[in-house]
Structure 1
C-alpha cells in the first residue's frame, strides 16, 4: 500500500528581526542609536520636549505650592506669592529638579523611540550594586574634602560651605526638618541632574558624533552655566565636575558613578547647611567657591575618578551595549477577526 503524502502546510514568513539586531555594539554616548531608528532630528525634538517638560514641571510645582499656601493661609510676599520660608523654598526647588527625571525618560521614549533604561546604563537599567559601591567610594572622599574646606579661611564654597551670615546654630526643630527634607529630595534632585546632563545631553550629541569628547565637553559647560555665575574659580570647578562625571559615565557605561558622587556631595553639603541658621535659604551655589576650596574639590574629584576607574576595571564593569541583548519592543496587536453570526 502506497503512503499518501500529507498535505503541505502553508509556509508562514519568519517574523522580522528586531531592528537592534542589525546595530553593532555601542558605547554609552551612542545609545541613542540602539534601536536603529535614529534620525538627525530626533535629538533636537527630544531636547525641545525636555525643555518644555522642565518648564511645565516647574509651573505645576509652583501652582501646587500656591494652592497649598492658600489652603494653609501662608503669608504672601510683595509679588503676591505665598511664602514658605527658607526650608520650604529649598524643598520646592529640589522637587522641581527631581521631577525632571520622568521628563527625560519621556523624551527618550517618545522622541527617540528607544528604551528609557538606556539612559541609565548600557545594560538598559540602573546597576544598583555598582551604584552602591560608587556611593561607598565617594563618602570618605567627600567627607574629607568638605572637612578641609570648612577649616579654610574665608571659605565660600557654596552649598555646604555657604553660611550666608555666620555659623549660628539653626536649632533642633529647623535642623531636623531641613535634614529630613534634604535626605528625601536630594537623591532624586542629584540623579535628575545626572540624567539630564550626563544622560540626555551626552547621548543626544553622541547620536551625531562618534568621539565621546564632543559629547562630554558641551554638557560640562552647560552644567556649570546652569548653576549661575559666581566666581571664575567656582565656574571652573563645576566644569571639572561635569568633565569627570562625563568621563566616568562613558568609561563605565552608565550613570551610576556620576550619580553616586553627586548624591553624596549634595547630601553632605546641604546636610551641613541645614545645621546653620539661614544657610538652606542662601542663594549661593558651588559657582561661588573660592580658589582654595576649588583646589581641594578638584583633588577630590580626580581621586574619586581614579579609584572608580580602577574598581570598574577590576570588577569588569561593562561599558559597551549589545543592542540584541535589550528586550525587543512588544509586537503590534493583530487586527480583530470578525466572524459572521
Structure 2
C-alpha cells in the first residue's frame, strides 16, 4: 500500500517537521537568484515596495524570469530528496510508488492523455475565438523556452507532486492512520498555496475552487493507483503545454509562447466544468485502463502498520 509502506522507514512525526522546514528553506534559498536579478535590473532608485507580482514578473527577460522562477522548485526538490533519504532513510521508489519499480509507462500515459486534451481544446478555442488570441511566436525565444521548459517544468511539477502527494500524504497518513485526512489536507494546502498566483488577483477567489479541486483529483490518482506516477505525468503535461502554447499578461508563467491570450479574463461557475466534468473523465479513463476497484477502501480506508515489514527496492 502506497501510504502504509512508510512504516518500513523512519516515520516519527518530528522527522516530518524537520523535513518540511528543510523543504521550505530550500525553496527560499532557490528564490534568492530571482530576487537578486530583479533588484539588479531595477536598481535601488527604481525599487518600489508597492509593485505587484504581475509587474515584478515583467522586469526580466521572459525566458530568464521563467528559469529563475522555476529554479526555487528545483532546489526545493533537492532538499526534499535529501530529507527523505537522510532523515527518513526512505528510497525514491518507496516515495514514488508501492510497486517494486517506478512505472514510467504510467507517467507517459498520463502525460500523453493530458497533452492531447490540451492541444485539442487549445486549437478548438483558437479556431472558434480567434479574436481572443495574438500570434506571439518568435523562433529563437521559443526554442530557448522549449529547452528551459522541458528541463525545468518537470522539476517544478515533480517537486509539488513528491511534496504533497507523496511526502505529506504518507506522513499525515501514518499519523492519522486513515486515507481521507491526508487526501483532504494535502489537497487544500496545495490549492491554497496558489492563492498568491496572479490569476487569483485577476479572476477572483472563485478560481481557488479549481486549484483545490485539482489537488483532490491528483490525490485521488495517487491513492487509487497506489503511486504518484500518473499524477507526475498529468501535472508535467499540464504545466509544460500551458507554458509553450499560450501566455497572458496576468498568468504566473510569462513566456514567449506560441499564442498570447488578449481577451478580458473572467471566471464564473464555468470554472466548475473541469472539476465536475473533465477531471472525472480523466479518472474514468485511468480507472478503466488500470483496473481500479474498491474505491471506498482506497480513499477512506484505514492505514494499518503491516505485521511484516518489507523494504522496497532502491534505485
Task: Report the TM-score range of the alignment, normalised by the length of the smaller protein.
Answer: 0.7 to 0.9
2:87 is aligned to: 111
1:248 is aligned to: 221
Are 1:201 and 2:168 counterparts? yes
1:91 is aligned to: 67
2:267 is aligned to: 290
2:26 is aligned to: 53
2:4 is aligned to: 30
CA-to-aligned-CA distance 1:271-314 (integer Å, 9 cap, x gap): 1136x7897438x9xxx872365244332222111111221118
- Aligned equivalents of 1:31, 1:86: Cα separation in 2: 42
1:123 to partner: Cα distance: 3.0
CA-to-aligned-CA distance 1:37-91 (integer Å, 9 cap, x gap): 332322222222222222223236656x58xx98xxx67472399x532221121
* Cα contact 1:197–1:219 (8 A) shared by 2: yes
Counterparts of 1:231-270 in structure 2 under 5 Å?
A: 231-270=204-243
- Pick from 227, 232, 241 the counterpart of residue 194 of structure 2: 227
- Aligned equivalents of 1:325, 1:113: Cα separation in 2: 11
In the superposition, the TM-score normalised over structure 2's length comes to 0.74
Q: Which runs of 5+ in 1 are unaligned?
A: 1-26, 156-162, 329-341
2:12 is aligned to: 39
In the superposition, the TM-score normalised over structure 1's length comes to 0.69
- Aligned equivalents of 1:154, 1:242: Cα separation in 2: 31
Q: Relative to structure 2, which stretch is displaced further, 113-122 or 206-215?
A: 113-122
- When the two structures are aligned, how many residues end up with a matched partner? 277
* Cα contact 2:110–2:230 (8 A) shared by 1: yes
Give 1 or 2: higher helix fraction: 2
1:253 to partner: Cα distance: 1.3
Counterparts of 1:95-244 in structure 2 under 5 Å?
A: 95-123=71-99, 125-147=101-123, 167-228=134-195, 230=200, 231-244=204-217
User: Pairwise CA RMSD of aligned residues?
Assistant: 3.7
* Cα contact 1:167–1:277 (8 A) shared by 2: no
1:300 is aligned to: 278
CA change 1:111–1:292 in 2 (3 A) is: same
Flag the structure with larger Rg: 1
- Aligned equivalents of 1:29, 1:289: Cα separation in 2: 39
